[in-house]
Amino acid sequence: MTEQPDTVRDLADIPAVEVISRAAVMLMSSAAEKLGLADEDPDTSPRRDLDEARRVITALAGLVTASVEYLGPHAGPIRDGLQSLQRAFRDTSAHPDEPGKGPGEKYTGPVY
């Protein structure tokens, strides 16, 4: 018989702020990968997929906007990470969106 490691927690026992924060970090990591930021040269990254990055960044913006009041001290760093990804998306795009039209900006407002 195998025992589960002590690090396994019942989802019901995890505070909502931790679940939301973990989801935000996962979305941020995914967006960074899809922007090619994990590679030495993002411009030649085989993982770069701006269409997918737009979707993930928009989902992250929706999550952050909907849950910001519950995030407490986590809100600032998560918002900063989101804005950094939005700027990176704009910088990466061959034809950048107008301010307010980029990924997630309908939720966060324009990012410059």
Which tens digit of pLDDT belongs to each residue from 22-76? Answer: 999 999 999 999 999 999 999 899 999 999 999 999 999 999 999 999 999 999 9
pLDDT of residue 8: 76
pLDDT of residue 1: 55
Rounded to whole angstroms, how far apart are CA atoms 104 and 50?
13
Let me know the angle formed at the C-alpha of 100 by 65 and 37, rounded to the nearest 5 degrees.
75
Q: What is the pLDDT of residues 63-109, one digit of tens each?
A: 999 999 999 999 999 999 999 999 999 999 999 999 999 999 999 99
Instruction: Record the pTM.
Output: 0.88
C-alpha 24 chain-centroid distance: 5
